[in-house]
Structure 1
Amino acid sequence: MGFFTDSGSSKHSEISSRSSSPSNDNSNLENRNIMYMLKNCLILSKDGNKKSICDEGVKFNGLENNLNNCYSNVVIQSLYSYHEFRNRMIKMKKSGGSISSELAKLYSKCVSQSDIQSTKGFLKKVCSTKDDFILGDQQDAHEFLTYILNAMIDEIRNIEDEYVKPKTFMSSKSGGKRKLEKRTWLNELVEGCVKSETRCHECDSVTGMTEPFITLSLNIFDNCDINLCLQRYCDDELLSGKNQFFCEKCDKYCDASKRIVFDLMPPLLILHLKRFKYTTKPGSSLCSVYERLPYSVVCSNVIQVNCKRHPCPIVYELFSIISHIGTSPDYGHYINISELGGSWFRCDDASILKLDDYHSEIGDETTSGNDASYILFYRIKE
């Protein structure tokens, strides 16, 4: 059983974003998004114009956006607001020219300086390692997030002298075991494992495959919330008709049931909301966007969890939100709302605004979160 709460309170989407101007057809929704941003700016602290904001010894720095890089700024700020990740990165070596060393240098500057920081060195390194990322083009924040986390895991694995003991998981169709690669401290923070179990309806045999995940990409349905999205992610799936399961024991295709069990839950749980819906119907837009996905401040959800690994209920709290303002993945703007040092802040590139009333951004006991939530960051509640 897992519980998700708000402190103030594998299925990846292939979406790539490029810079362009909104079309007139989307002007009404775009105007509503702009009014949403302006409305919430009216209740922010007057301290919001500072280059950096300190709170209980920790501070946010503004980040330059002169390369259409709001997509990377929000990822940098969200990860920075997770104290364990920030502290481990700062302790890393600042030399070597890797993605992780460039981020370590950037975080060290954010801690020691109060100026608006440039992320150009970090972005240049990322773009030099992935052809799809072009300096100056806007990208999808989720794709960027998953790429840099995976890249840094590989880098850290190569330079660490000591590793966490490798773990063994059921991973083959026959239920056999294999050892995962050496797990670094970053694996331990962000990587969980999900087990897919398939039960044949004829012989009742069960086969399983376990795969690691860094983010959970959740399908969105009309009139749903985060709880329902998580429940449907774990719901039993009937495999029948053209989707029958080939049972090795029966040596034929059979009806079967498939379910998801969380074998290992990470300290940092990242939920990616698949807000963009594509259609091929004549006369309709190729892409539509869900305007709102409710997530209440206090919410609980029953999910299938490996009780041997997690004997106690897991309680998560929300601490950061990446929002995408726009009606298409081809354009728009990213902002970040994060908790740091007990206060909530809106991070919009170089502008850092302290929220006097964070409920307007993340909701309260009776209302939902903001309209444009795209990636949610949860940490295990202490």
Structure 2
Amino acid sequence: MGATGSKLEKALGDQFPEGERYFGLENFGNTCYCNSVLQALYFCIPFRDQLLDYYGRIKTVGEAEENLLTCLADLFTQINSQKKKTGVIAPKRFVQRVKKQHELFRSYMHQDAHEFLNFLLNQLVEALEKEAKSDPTAPASPEKKSSDNGATGEEHPLTWVHKIFQGCLTNETRCLRCETITAKDEKFLDLSLDIEQNSSVTSCLRNFSSTETLIADDKFFCDKCCSLQEAQKRMKIKTQPRILALHLKRFKYMEQLGRYKKLSYRVVFPLELKLCNTAEDAPGSESEYSLFAVVVHVGSGPNHGHYVSLVKSHNHWLFFDDENVEMIDESYVQTFFGSTQEYSNNTDHGYILFYECLDPAKAS
């Protein structure tokens, strides 16, 4: 990527951000699903800062047991400490660890970037929680762990992954006979949204929280009425995350086809977003979010294709395609909204969106 790197440096010129590094990631045979997510996470500054800090701490106290957390911290430190501003890094150790941890990622088949993101964040949480249990002096924020019936159980540490990505949904069900509202909270690290043709992320979020009426066989058992009753149900965001990860459900199982099909629908994702589906008493309900990364699926189906990522860094947009990194104009982001027609030559569609809260104090 020497020529590409030089071109990027030339394009940025005097505007090249001090201390920043723009490195492509080598592909080890259909590992673009991994590379695209890693680039989005690297340019998630709160996440990167925590990983670099974590790496500094484990190096100070000695070698930690290898896991995905230590491998990712090592990779981010490698990129961050490069003498050159641009180039290519081979995330070999990290990819080997991913394959060792989960058999799903051991083959050279095309994998799903959203599944990988979920797997990675949960693995990092697991490693941090395990570490906290073995080290009572480790700083952590206690959080009550709730069981399915809402009862409070044991306390467990709130990791920095939670502090960055975790939000809380409240599932409200209102009995239409006695008007009693039953609320149940549910934590999330990302939200998966159903999509429709010629829609927007805002409308997808609104539909996510639309009211559903439970009747006939779907009646709700009301504890106050002690019987099944018709009810209204809705899901709203109770606490907003600092980083809002939105997964657009572009792969839908079609019974008539007997397989999954990719939905190439045009879904507009704005550069600035205000959440419209927060609970009335939600703190920071007026919070605004800014788009900083998009993982794009390229291809016509779920079982083949390619992943690339768009990243905003220091007010510049960059395009990451495995080893290649290019500077792009902000308007280019719009080309990944999707197609207004079912069959189109454009198969490059936004799949995972990363938004950062502009006022972190209002987020959870």
Q: TM-score, normalised by structure 1?
A: 0.79
Is the partner of 1:148 in helix, strand or coil?
helix
Among all aligned residue pairs of Structure 1 and Structure 2, give the percentage whose two residues are the same amino acid: 30
Q: Tell me which residue corresponds to 1:109.
A: 78
Shifted more, 339-348 versus 226-235: the winner is 339-348
C-alpha distance 177-166 of structure 1, shift in aligned 2 (>3 A):
same
User: Which of 246, 265, 278 is matched with 2:240 structurally?
Assistant: 265
Structure with greater helix percent: 2
**Counterpart among 270, 273, 282 of residue 296 in structure 1:** 270
| Letter paired with 2:70 | S
Q: State the shift of 1:251 in Å.
A: 2.3
Aligned 1:1-382 pairs, distance under 5 A: 47-48=7-8, 55-92=17-54, 93=58, 95=63, 96-113=65-82, 114=84, 115-160=87-132, 161-168=137-144, 172-173=148-149, 175-178=150-153, 181-281=156-256, 286-305=260-279, 307=281, 310-311=283-284, 313-355=286-328, 357-362=329-334, 371-382=348-359
| Cα 1:260/1:286, change in 2 over 3 Å | closer
| Stretches of structure 1 lacking an aligned partner (at least 5 in a row) | 1-43
> Relative CO higher for 1 or 2, CA cutoff 8 Å, sep ≥ 6?
1
Say if 2:273 and 2:290, in contact at 8 Å, map to a contact too.
Answer: no
TM-score (norm 2): 0.83
Q: How many residues align?
A: 332
SS at match of 2:268: coil
Deviations 1:204-239 (A, max 9, x none): 222121111111000001221111100011111111
Q: Secondary structure at the match of 2:351?
A: strand
Q: Deviations over 1:295-348 (max 9, x none)?
A: 2344544212363x5145111100000000011110000000001122110000
CA contact (8 A) 1:195 1:262 kept: yes
Secondary structure, in 3 states, of the residue corresponding to 1:58? coil
Gaps of 5+ in 2: 341-346, 360-364
Give the CA deviation at 1:88: 1.0
> The residue matched to 1:62 in structure 2 has which SS?
strand
Cα distance, 1:117 vs. partner? 0.9
Distance 1:170 1:223 in 2: 39
- 122-131 or 190-199, which moves further after superposition? 122-131
Contact 2:240 2:284 in 1 (8 A): no
Note closer, same or farther for the CA distance 1:86–1:311 as it changes in structure 2 (3 Å cut). Answer: closer
Shift of 1:120: 1.8
For the residues of structure 2 that align with 1:362 and 1:179, how far apart are their CA atoms?
46
Q: CA deviation at 1:288?
A: 3.9
Question: What secondary structure does 1:202 align onto?
Answer: coil
Q: Secondary structure at the match of 2:100?
A: helix
Residue 195 and residue 76 in structure 1: after superposition, are their counterparts in 2 closer, same or farther (change >3 A)? same
Note if contact 2:169-2:239 (Cα within 8 Å) is conserved in structure 1: yes
Counterpart of 2:299 in 1: which secondary structure? strand
Structure 1 residue 286, shift from structure 2 partner: 4.8
Deviation at 1:116, TM superposition (A): 1.2
**Contact 1:198-1:257 within 8 A present in 2 as well:** yes
Task: Report SS of the residue matched to 2:111.
Answer: coil
| Aligned twin of 1:37 | none
Q: What CA distance in whole angstroms lies between the structure 1 residues aligned with 2:130 and 2:223?
A: 39
Change (3 A) 1:55 1:260: same
> Could you tell me which amino acid in structure 2 is paired with residue 166 of structure 1?
P
